[in-house]
Amino acid sequence: MISFVDVNKWYGDYHALCDINAEVAKGEVVVVCGPSGSGKSTLIRTVNRLEEIKSGKLTVDGADIQGPRAARDLNRMRSRIGFVFQSFNLFPHLSVLENVTLSPMKVRGVKREDARATAMRLLTRVGLANKAGSFPAQLSGGQQQRVAIARALAMEPPAMLFDEPTSALDPEMVGEVLSVMRGLAEDGMTMMCVTHEMGFAREVADRVWFMDAGRILEVADPETFFSSPQHPRSQRFLSDLRAH
């Protein structure tokens, strides 16, 4: 579904992504973890080309998203990849319902009534149907992030990307967002999540990618990764996590 072949990226002299070769299969849930600055967010942002890559090939659902010819089709390709940000990025001038219906109507040409029906179904699913008329600033962080997930789902994307979706949340709101994500995973959504929620990774992930210094150092199923990590760097990372 999402495949990286020899992907490299530099910020000036800094080698942000080194020789990334990896694949997310259809229906698979991949959790990308690793220390800060390891390139996790950069990696996930290359998948819908919020970041450009220097070399290599990145295909999503068979489409070469970073290729030179993608520029023309980029918006259509992006509309087929859901993206959830750390800082929610809801549109503050639009109501919750309008946040969810805007893009289906304006990008995909869905009729207003249909977009509204879909939006209400999705808002019900994330437990916020009663907030349809509210504005983002009237919602808590956890509610905003759930609306952001509904907004991304409204485009009916075959794959969803999550870039530290719970990092900006107060602890008591993390659970409500993770439970929505768990529900998506159970429904067979292809997901790639950058997260520090190791409990979520252990429970929900099919595979864990461990990154450091722009490289994927270890790919393992969560059971193996958390009980017997192979790479010395991931061993250190996990023991640091357990230390507190």
Partner 1 sequence: MWSVVDIVRDNWLLLLIGQYPHGPLGGIAATLILSVFGILLAFPVSVALALARLSPWRVLRWPVTGLVYATRGIPLLMIILWTYFLLPVLTGHTVSGFTTMLCTLVLYEGCYLSEVVRAGIEALPKGQSEAAKSLGHGYYGRMRYIILPQALFNMLPSMLSQFISTIQDTTLGYVINVQELTFAANQVNNQLLTQPFQVFFILAITYFVVCFTLTQATHWLERRVAARRRGIPAAVPVTPAADGLPLPTGEELP
| Relative orientation angle of helices 141-153 and 96-107, to the nearest 10 degrees | 20
**In sequence order, which ranges of 47-138 are alpha helices (DSSP H)?**
70-78, 96-107, 112-125
Binding-residue total with partner 1 (CB under 8 A)? 49
81 binds partner 1 (CB under 8 A): yes
Give the nearer residue to partner 1 in terms of CB position, either 58 or 139.
Answer: 139
> Which of 131, 174, 211, 217 touches partner 1 (CB under 8 A)?
131
Q: CB of 71: closest distance to partner 1 in angstroms?
A: 11
User: Which of 31, 30, 59 is CA-nearest to residue 46?
Assistant: 59
137 binds partner 1 (CB under 8 A): yes
User: Where are the strands (E) in 146-230, listed by range?
Assistant: 159-163, 190-194, 207-212, 215-220
> Which of 89, 182, 206, 238 touches partner 1 (CB under 8 A)?
89
Give yes or no for a contact between 147 and 96, defined as CB atoms under 8 angstroms apart.
yes
141 binds partner 1 (CB under 8 A): yes
Q: Taking CB under 8 A as the criterion, which residues in 21-80 touch partner 1? A: 48, 50, 75-80
Give the nearer residue to partner 1 in terms of CB position, either 82 or 222.
Answer: 82
Distances, alpha carbon 206 to alpha carbons 49, 56, 65, in Å: 25, 25, 24
Give yes or no for a contact between 159 and 2, defined as CB atoms under 8 angstroms apart.
yes
Which spans of this chain sit near partner 1 (rule: CB under 8 A)?
A: 48, 50, 75-83, 85, 87-93, 102-103, 106-108, 127-128, 130-131, 135-144, 148, 151-152, 155, 168-170, 172-173, 176, 179
